[in-house]
Amino acid sequence: MHILLNPTSNNPIYEQIIQQVKERILQGVVIAGDKVPSVREMSAQLTVNPNTVSKAYKELEREGIFVTFRGKGTFISEDVHELVQEREVKHLKEQAEQLVQSAKQAGVSKEEMKSWIDELFQKGGERHD
């Protein structure tokens, strides 16, 4: 699993690790059952303190994304893609709710918002699932 840290980001390193692991799962780069590099291996790869990687791994395990088997290592848990996708959709919905509230306060109409969404989907390429 390849992770790139952004040293100029306002997000702490452990949060960058968590976010990028989730992105790799959504992209299909890592899948359920894949072995994850050990904390020591990942900290050496990223040249960061092992405690930072450990903090990210513990959070990912708490969220059900990682599962650790004593003596075998850490793995991507089963059904992880759906779990991460479900959380991302929930987060996006919360952001959309905030955006709609801000738009209402600014006097933006529902039709104008729909127009913006259509325009943004055309720019980014619409997904057809």
pLDDT in tens, 5-47: 998 999 999 999 999 999 998 888 999 999 999 999 999 999 9
pLDDT of amino acid 128: 47
Share of the chain above pLDDT 70, in %: 96
pLDDT average, residue stretch 94-118: 90
pLDDT of amino acid 126: 52
CA distance 21 to 9: 17
CA distance 100 to 105: 9
The answer to whether 53 and 42 have CB atoms below 8 angstroms apart is yes
The answer to whether 68 and 36 have CB atoms below 8 angstroms apart is no
Which of these ranges, 7-21, 40-54, 56-70, 77-91, has the smallest mean pLDDT?
A: 77-91
pLDDT of amino acid 14: 97
The answer to whether 46 and 2 have CB atoms below 8 angstroms apart is no
pLDDT above 60 (res 66): yes
- The gap between the terminal CA atoms of the chain, to the nearest Å, is 26
